[in-house]
């Protein structure tokens, strides 16, 4: 299901509608062996609100085409649009979260850590986490995870003293790991481009591996405003190459 959503998101409904056979791109890329399985998956996406409903006069070809809803994007991308995040202007303030949960509150601590990582907070030290994003409805989100927001302290701060913003960035996130994840991903795109066109099994295998490697990079990247990244950051290049690879595969499959 995730791969189906990724393909639809990266290509967009206009590109899919322009393909001679959008079913092949979606179904084979996502690993569906029959139209029945594909039908069921698209129906579930729409019923659960992850995909927008098709127009009433949709053609047979357009019935395979769908656009992700806001809920679908939140589920697939954690609410992150990489290009929007990179281009965001930063006001120089860090949002910080600190807490003092007892060690026996294991479930609550685990839920809090999952939320912090989902929202791409950096772990500065101990129970102190940071983000360049402005405070949102974080208390509500934590309450939904059964974490009492009154046991946390949210503040905004500015780097002062000997530590600078780039020190915060390097301490908060593991950019060695982030860089390696992106290099592994782009190496895959470089060395296996022909695997995307061929048998159904080869197509499905390519998308499965691509999705796995991209997810490793995506989940480790905080998607900061681009001015905060250290030199040598590879995320923007990898993102552009990913979109180009999907477009190329769509064209090749359409011509096959």
Q: Which of 9-23, 31-45, 172-186 has the lowest mean pLDDT?
A: 9-23
Each residue of 146-158: pLDDT tens digit? Answer: 999 889 999 999 9
Average pLDDT of the chain?
85
Name the strand (E) or helix (H) holding 240: helix 235-255
For 160, residues 6+ apart whose C-beta sits below 8 A from its C-beta are none
Percentage, residues of the chain above pLDDT 90: 44
Count of residues making up the chain? 256
Predicted TM-score (pTM) of the model is: 0.84
Q: Which of 38-47, 206-215, 217-226, 244-253 has the lowest mean pLDDT?
A: 244-253
Q: Can you give the pLDDT at residue 195?
A: 47
End-to-end Cα distance, the chain: 25
Q: Can you give the pLDDT at residue 193?
A: 52
**Spatial CA neighbour of 139 closest among 148, 130, 131:** 148
Confidence category of residue 5, pLDDT binned at 50, 70, 90: confident
CB burial string 220-256: b at 16+ within 10 A, e below: bbbbbeeebbeeebbbeebbebbeebbeebbeebeee
**CA 171 to CA 161: how far, in whole Å?**
16
Does residue 36 register a pLDDT over 50? yes
The more confidently predicted of residues 217 and 66 is: 217
Q: Can you give the pLDDT at residue 100?
A: 84
The more confidently predicted of residues 68 and 222 is: 222
**CA 177 to CA 87: how far, in whole Å?**
23
**Spatial CA neighbour of 29 closest among 255, 249, 218, 256:** 249
Each residue of 39-84: pLDDT tens digit? Answer: 888 888 888 888 876 554 445 555 667 788 888 888 888 888 999 9
Q: Which of 37-46, 63-72, 105-114, 181-190 has the lowest mean pLDDT?
A: 63-72
Q: Can you give the pLDDT at residue 235?
A: 97
């Amino acid at each position: 299901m995730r791969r189906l959503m990724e393909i639809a998101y990266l290509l967009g409904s206009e590109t899919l509608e322009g393909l001679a056979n959008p079913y092949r791109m979606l179904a084979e890329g996502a690993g569906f062996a029959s139209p029945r399985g594909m039908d069921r998956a698209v129906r579930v996406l729409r019923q659960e609100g992850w995909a927008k409903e098709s127009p009433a006069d949709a053609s047979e070809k357009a019935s395979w085409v769908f656009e992700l809803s806001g809920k679908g994007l939140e589920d697939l991308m954690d609410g992150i649009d990489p290009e929007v995040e990179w281009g965001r202007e930063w006001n120089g303030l860090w949002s910080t979260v600190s807490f003092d949960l007892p060690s026996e509150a294991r479930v609550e601590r685990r839920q809090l850590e999952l939320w912090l990582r989902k929202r791409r907070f950096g772990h500065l030290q101990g129970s102190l986490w940071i983000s360049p994003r402005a405070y949102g409805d974080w208390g509500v989100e934590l309450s939904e995870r059964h974490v009492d927001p009154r046991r946390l302290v949210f503040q905004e701060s500015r780097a002062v003293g000997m530590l600078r913003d780039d020190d915060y960035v390097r301490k908060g996130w593991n950019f060695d790991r982030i860089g390696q994840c992106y290099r592994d991903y782009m190496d895959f795109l470089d060395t296996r481009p022909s695997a995307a066109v061929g048998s159904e099994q080869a197509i499905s295998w390519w998308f499965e591996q691509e999705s796995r490697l991209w997810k490793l990079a995506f989940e480790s990247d905080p998607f900061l405003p681009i001015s905060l990244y250290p030199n040598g950051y590879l995320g923007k290049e990898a993102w552009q190459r990913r979109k180009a690879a999907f477009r190329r595969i769509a064209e090749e499959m359409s011509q096959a």
